Amino acid sequence: MPRPTLNDDDRAQRRRQLLDAAHALYQRRQALPTVAEIAQAAGVAKGTVYLSFGTKEEIFIALLDDGFAQLLGTLLPQLQQLPRQAEAAAAAFAAGFSASLRTLPDLLPLAAMTNSVLEKNLPLDTLLDFKTRVMGGLMMAGAQLEAHLPLLLEPDQGSDLLRRTWALTQGLWQLSDCPTPMKPHLIEALTARGVPHVYDRDFHDELQTALTLLWRGTLLARRR
Amino acid sequence: MPRPTLNDDDRAQRRRQLLDAAHALYQRRQALPTVAEIAQAAGVAKGTVYLSFGTKEEIFIALLDDGFAQLLGTLLPQLQQLPRQAEAAAAAFAAGFSASLRTLPDLLPLAAMTNSVLEKNLPLDTLLDFKTRVMGGLMMAGAQLEAHLPLLLEPDQGSDLLRRTWALTQGLWQLSDCPTPMKPHLIEALTARGVPHVYDRDFHDELQTALTLLWRGTLLARRR
Amino acid sequence: MPRPTLNDDDRAQRRRQLLDAAHALYQRRQALPTVAEIAQAAGVAKGTVYLSFGTKEEIFIALLDDGFAQLLGTLLPQLQQLPRQAEAAAAAFAAGFSASLRTLPDLLPLAAMTNSVLEKNLPLDTLLDFKTRVMGGLMMAGAQLEAHLPLLLEPDQGSDLLRRTWALTQGLWQLSDCPTPMKPHLIEALTARGVPHVYDRDFHDELQTALTLLWRGTLLARRR
Amino acid sequence: MPRPTLNDDDRAQRRRQLLDAAHALYQRRQALPTVAEIAQAAGVAKGTVYLSFGTKEEIFIALLDDGFAQLLGTLLPQLQQLPRQAEAAAAAFAAGFSASLRTLPDLLPLAAMTNSVLEKNLPLDTLLDFKTRVMGGLMMAGAQLEAHLPLLLEPDQGSDLLRRTWALTQGLWQLSDCPTPMKPHLIEALTARGVPHVYDRDFHDELQTALTLLWRGTLLARRR
DNA sequence: AATGAATGAGGTTTCATTCAT
DNA sequence: GATGAATGAAACCTCATTCAT
């Protein structure tokens, strides 16, 4: 029973430790690990998890939070280097966004559970903080985008565009996803049945195409 | 304890009875009811449920299936009456689609659970049938759309557009949704914190705007 | 709904049909099939099974009954050809008995369930009939045995010997048996652990040895 | 709701508590109680049971294990005091063994379920440990027996004899047993039908007789 | 006689969370 | 602070049996 007093740094470190463990387990299983597993992987006892997180779901919301922050981090520089012509900007963003997403392979699966699983058992405050932070990042990035493309975007439409971008991304991912173990069977069976060109299309190709269309539709609006 | 031999009609009726019960319970709770609850609500014994559905999840896939079929039913006539000019078509579709969705308030919440919940305990065949049916509807509607707007859509792009339409819709809904019981608090708190114009915006307004942009971006492509 | 009136022959035929189906299924699975499976295999409806048998367990008791009758059928002639010298008789019986048993591979597994499973849900009358029939056969065979070996067996000890023979057989079988799917693993693992010569010994060898000893002990008693 | 950290002693005590509860219930019902019942009888929650046992069946295997250990405990001293003359040894063992068994009235019923019930839901390792332990005890006792009766037993035949002893015991018990609630009716009815001297014979008398014969057959073998 | 829809008891196991130490 | 034993709700699905037709 070691009992060192924890200062804030220690606390943050413990949080990180747990988040890393949870993340690693999630990557392996593609399913929410149990608290016991997370604790074990982090080398602490089950009860200790609840000193850092009020709820199992909080852990994964925090992971999601991290993911969004990282996405934002890679996105912001890209936004400032976007070409200023509408079509080119749309295509460039789509390509950059897709590439950024590839570096965060757990973000979309995690986000897909937000509504149906993660938010189910979350204290209002945590949910509030999460949404505030995500939305704050969105607003900021949106403001940058507006500043960078003043001729293509109305004021305040930057964050709208980015929100819709995320929505389209998440929606497309959910349409293309299916339980990992049966993915090959499903694709094969769908192909055999002649249901064409939908699940076997590479998600990132589809994402780029769709995002380009959304952005074009948005950025061309001003021109009319 | 009535125990008459069931013909196909009876069987369909029993299915309907269970689906209606499940639907009603889902509306109340915004969460998957237990099989026991469904059985009780439908006035049958637990085991009876398993005569019509092999799995609890199948019930909800069937509900989703119904929803998509209904959506398609209201959508198809709309597609054929779309104006043939790009901007007008985009706006008209967005309006019509949003209106159609309003008549199916459970479709989006149900769809949001598809990946994380429903598919976890579904035999491959059921999942396959479901996906095939949904995709089939999409292809058909897409073909109609192409036929109706031959100057605006490349061949085979009708179903792509509709798929992206659905993805954007589902994504936006998931961003705007939150657990029913805390929705008012959340909105209030976000407003108080000055996180603006996002959650308190009416979902259907946002949906129309976003879909219009996506469609515009798609339908204007030809022109270039 | 065909409804031909069943006479006694038909009834017996129906019984046989069900017993055969149950037997075939039991052989496949080495576990009690469900009533639904039996009915389907026999080409009748579930309810029909209960016109011939009051309980699922009755079916398997009947199977057991059959098995005992067949065993008796092959045994009786053997008894009459037994050598009249004790040691030779013991060895000859053991060999013949083991051989007879090989022709009835389901008898022992079925018998092993008698106490813990089959008798659990049996009307008293059925159980009574079963026990009476089995015991009757035993008495008869015992009487033959006494008549054939008057110098080796006291009156009334023929059936005792045969009963103990069966007991020893069944007991040995249960010691050597284990769930079919794990048998190879188990044997391998036991061997690896150095637990020797018990499970990997061939059951029929062991049976012959053990029966020979029991019979010798019995038949030599008189001599002293 | 006491929740002290458990050391090994506590753990063993908790195991014992559950085993005792399970044993008591088994004695009452002569059937496997449910986990819920065991937990209640032991005064703990259902989940607590699974901290000590991985499976319901493990509980009963442990009970069986206990029983065998106790039987072995009473048997070993007896073996060393066996007379060295064959007939006398056989009779003495039979008497002592029967007496030992009387002190363990649940061992035989429990053992009768081993194959058909207990092994169905047991991890291979548990089953393996169990078999190894039982066989180990048998080997040890067999070695003692050989050492004690060197003139009567070939090397390595001690454990064989004991194994056959157990097989005969279990087989006889299963022949004489029937579901507790109907036992009196059955005996009465069998007597009424004139099926004689079998079920109403006291099991332990029969056991002694049969074991004496088996042992005599074995121990006399050397003489020839 | 035959059917097969309906019944509903039955039982296991998992796991997030608590809280005594 | 840390532990991890205890909790106990939760939920599924199977299947022998019945009985209205």
What is the C-alpha end-to-end distance of chain D, expressed in Å?
Answer: 69
Rounded to whole angstroms, the distance from the CA of residue A2 to the C1' of nucleotide F1 is 8
The DSSP code sequence of chain A is: ---PPP-HHHHHHHHHHHHHHHHHHHHHHSSPPPHHHHHHHHTS-HHHHHHH-SSHHHHHHHHHHHHHHHHHHHHHHHHHT--SSHHHHHHHHHHHHHHHHHT-TTHHHHHHTTTTTGGGG--HHHHHHHHHHHHHHHHHHHHHHHHH-TTTS-TTHHHHHHHHHHHHHHHHHHHH---GGGHHHHHHHHHHTT--SSSSS-HHHHHHHHHHHHHHHHHTGGG-
User: How many other CB atoms are there within 10 angstroms of residue A7's CB atom?
Assistant: 9
Rounded to whole angstroms, the distance from the CA of residue D106 to the C1' of nucleotide F18 is 36
**CB of D15 closer than 8 Å to CB of D52:** yes
Sorted by sequence, the CB contacts under 8 Å of residue C131 that are 6+ apart come out as D178, D186, D190, D195, D199
Q: Is A6 on the interface with B (CB under 8 A)?
A: no
Which residue in chain D is spatially nearest to C182 when comparing CA positions?
D124
Q: Residue A119's closest CA among B81, B109, D93?
A: B109
Amino acid in position A140: M
- pLDDT-derived band at A60 (thresholds 50, 70, 90) equals very high
In this complex, the residue of B120, B128, B179 whose CB is nearest that of residue A179 is B120
Give the separation between CA A83 and CA A189, rounded to whole angstroms. Answer: 42
Q: Do D135 and C190 touch (CB under 8 A)?
A: yes
The token pair that represents A131 in the structure block: 């949404």
Amino acid in position B158: G
Chain C residues whose CB is inside 8 A of the D171 CB are 166-172, 174
pLDDT on residue A219:
94
The token pair that represents D34 in the structure block: 């449910």
Neighbours of chain A (3+ CB pairs under 8 A): B
Q: Residue D164's closest CA among D132, D197, D141?
A: D141
Nucleotides of E under 7 A from a protein CB: 1-21
Which residue in chain A is spatially nearest to B165 when comparing CA positions?
A168
What would the pLDDT profile of A151-200 be if each residue is shown by its tens digit? 999 888 999 999 999 999 999 999 887 766 667 777 787 778 776 545 54
The whole-angstrom distance between D58's CA and the closest CA on chain C is 16
Chain B residues whose CB is inside 8 A of the A143 CB are none
Neighbours of chain C (3+ CB pairs under 8 A): D
Q: Is A131 on the interface with B (CB under 8 A)?
A: yes
Chain B residues whose CB is inside 8 A of the A160 CB are 209
- pLDDT-derived band at D1 (thresholds 50, 70, 90) equals very low
Maximum separation of any 2 CA atoms in chain D, in Å: 69
CA dihedral over A178, A183, A186, A192, signed as positive or negative: positive
The token pair that represents C148 in the structure block: 């054939």
Q: Is C136 on the interface with D (CB under 8 A)?
A: yes
Give the separation between CA B195 and CA B202, rounded to whole angstroms. Answer: 15
3-class SS of residue C188:
helix
CA dihedral over A79, A84, A86, A87, signed as positive or negative: negative
What is the phi/psi pair of residue A179, to 5°?
-50, 125
Give the separation between CA C37 and CA C96, rounded to whole angstroms. Answer: 36
Nucleotides of F under 7 A from a protein CB: 1-21
* Residue A2 clears pLDDT 50, i.e. is over it: no
pLDDT on residue D6:
57
Sorted by sequence, the CB contacts under 8 Å of residue A104 that are 6+ apart come out as A67, A70, A71
User: How many other CB atoms are there within 10 angstroms of residue A36's CB atom?
Assistant: 11
C118 touches strand F (CB under 7 A): no
Q: Is C135 on the interface with D (CB under 8 A)?
A: yes
User: How many other CB atoms are there within 10 angstroms of residue A211's CB atom?
Assistant: 25
Rounded to whole angstroms, the distance from the CA of residue D106 to the C1' of nucleotide F6 is 31
3-class SS of residue D196:
coil
- Could you tell me how many residues make up chain C? 224
* Residue A224 clears pLDDT 50, i.e. is over it: no
Averaged pLDDT of chain A: 89
What would the pLDDT profile of C54-103 be if each residue is shown by its tens digit? 999 999 999 999 999 999 999 999 999 999 999 999 999 999 999 999 99
What would the pLDDT profile of D141-177 be if each residue is shown by its tens digit? 999 999 999 999 988 899 999 999 999 999 999 988 8
pTM for the whole thing?
0.86
**Which window residues (24-53, chain D) lie with Cβ within 7 Å of strand F?**
44-48, 50-51
Give the separation between CA A174 and CA A114, rounded to whole angstroms. Answer: 12
Q: Is D179 on the interface with C (CB under 8 A)?
A: yes
**CB of D74 closer than 8 Å to CB of D45:** no
Sorted by sequence, the CB contacts under 8 Å of residue D1 that are 6+ apart come out as none
Which residue in chain C is spatially nearest to D114 when comparing CA positions?
C174
What is the phi/psi pair of residue D116, to 5°?
-80, -25
Find and give the residue nearest to F21, measured CA to C1'.
B4
**CB of D192 closer than 8 Å to CB of D222:** no
Q: Do B199 and A131 touch (CB under 8 A)?
A: yes
The token pair that represents B10 in the structure block: 């009876």
Q: Best of C106, C213, C220, C224 to disrupt the D interface by mutation (most D CBs within 10 Å)?
A: C213
Q: Do B214 and A213 touch (CB under 8 A)?
A: yes
Q: Report B:205-224 residues touching A (Cβ under 8 A).
A: 209-210, 212-218, 220-221, 224
* Residue C183 clears pLDDT 90, i.e. is over it: no
Rounded to whole angstroms, the distance from the CA of residue C58 to the C1' of nucleotide E9 is 22
What is the phi/psi pair of residue D3, to 5°?
-140, 50
Rounded to whole angstroms, the distance from the CA of residue B1 to the C1' of nucleotide E5 is 10
Chain D residues whose CB is inside 8 A of the C164 CB are 168, 172, 210, 213
Q: Provide the phi-psi class of B197: left if phi over 0, else alpha when psi is between -120 and 50, else beta.
A: left
Q: Residue A67's closest CA among A26, A31, A124?
A: A26
Output the tens digit of pLDDT for each of chain B's 224 residues: 334 455 667 788 889 999 999 999 998 888 889 999 999 999 999 999 999 998 999 999 999 999 999 999 999 999 999 999 999 999 999 999 999 999 999 999 999 988 877 777 788 888 888 888 998 899 999 999 999 999 999 888 999 999 999 999 999 999 988 777 677 777 788 778 776 545 545 899 999 999 999 999 999 875 54
The whole-angstrom distance between D117's CA and the closest CA on chain C is 8
Nearest nt (C1') from A45 Cα? F3
Which residue in chain B is spatially nearest to A160 when comparing CA positions?
B198
Find where tokens 């029937």 sit.
D178
Share of chain D above pLDDT 90, in %: 58
